[in-house]
Amino acid sequence: MLGIHTIQSIPLQRGDGRNLRYVLQLQDPMKSDPFIILADDKFAHNTFADHPHKGMQTVTYVLEGSLTHFDSKTGGGGRLTEGDFQIMTAGRGIIHNENPDVGEEVRVLQLWVNLSSKNKKQPGNYQDLPSTDVPVKDIAGGHVKVFAGDVDGTTSPLELVTPFVFAEVHLEKGAHYDFPVQAGFNTYLYGLDGAFNINGEALKAFDTVHFDTVDHAETISIDATEDMTLVIFSGEPIKEPVEAQGPFVMNTKEELHEAFVSYRNGTFLEGAPY
């Protein structure tokens, strides 16, 4: 079994029209490599107006409600509803917004995945995975939805820049599953509902686990003590310096400064209007 490094219960924060749990915060990006943050975020219309990103990917999983996004890459936008999944590659720069309808709220998990210095230079793009197209692996007493990467031979159709796995595990009370983890991957787990044991440790919704990183393939032992749902995100560390502030994730302080300057002086999109 993959050893447990830390366990935390994630508190709810309220304010600015949001109900937010920071599952993973920007504290030690080398420890969480290749991940930067994970937010369990419920928000209302106009919480996120136009804002930039650079040097990373935003990975969005809609848990409740729906949202519409508009962006500088497509010149239009799209709509995500409950169960949909999206990877937005900011690359060398993108401006977007994400909004539920007026009077509505949306709850999402949003994970920021870092990019290598080379991949930070690529153009921005979107990949959407509708809920109806998400690969599902049936297991005894439950199922696994594979949004990104591969789990036991069930593979997401999304193309990845930084190798990572994002999966949701649902088990009925009394069911057991050994979730496979690739060698060298940095792995986290977050409970969405119910109660369960992880490697024998009793956990519940809103608990998160950071696992040890080892140089061989391993498994996480999951036992459902109630009907339960959790997500696992696991990625290959990039092992490059990280300088992150606000919406930008770069390699050096100079690059970070340049990103802020270019956004303020109108050259962020290489002169293209937005």
Q: Do residues 139 and 151 lie in contact, with contact meaning Cβ atoms separated by under 8 Å?
A: no
Average model confidence (pLDDT) for the chain? 93
Assign 3-state DSSP to the chain and report helix, strand, coil percentages, each to 5.
Answer: 10, 55, 40
pLDDT tops 80 at residue 109: yes
pLDDT tops 60 at residue 223: yes
Q: pTM of the prediction?
A: 0.95
Mind listing the pLDDT tens digit for each residue in 249-261?
999 999 999 999 9
φ/ψ of 260, rounded to 5, equals -65, -40
What does DSSP assign to residue 123?
P
Percentage, residues of the chain above pLDDT 90: 80
Q: What pLDDT sits at residue 76?
A: 66
- Average pLDDT (201-223) is 98
Q: What pLDDT sits at residue 200?
A: 95
Nearest Cα to 139, choosing from 112, 171, 115, 184? 171
Mind listing the pLDDT tens digit for each residue in 148-197?
999 999 999 999 999 999 999 999 999 999 999 999 999 999 999 999 99
pLDDT tops 80 at residue 75: no
Q: What is the rounded distance in angstroms from the CA atom of residue 164 to the CA atom of residue 159?
A: 10
Q: What pLDDT sits at residue 47?
A: 78
Q: What pLDDT sits at residue 272?
A: 64
Length of the chain: 274
Q: Is 43 exposed, middle or buried (0-12, 13-18, 19+ CB in 10 A)?
A: buried
Which position has the higher pLDDT, 265 or 84? 84
Q: What pLDDT sits at residue 256?
A: 95
The CA-based angle 79-245-251, given to 5 degrees, is: 100
Q: What is the rounded distance in angstroms from the CA atom of residue 267 to the CA atom of residue 235?
A: 32
Mind listing the pLDDT tens digit for each residue in 42-52?
998 777 778 89
Q: Do residues 109 and 63 lie in contact, with contact meaning Cβ atoms separated by under 8 Å?
A: yes
Helix (H) or strand (E) holding 19: strand 18-24
Q: Do residues 153 and 205 lie in contact, with contact meaning Cβ atoms separated by under 8 Å?
A: no
Q: What pLDDT sits at residue 271?
A: 60
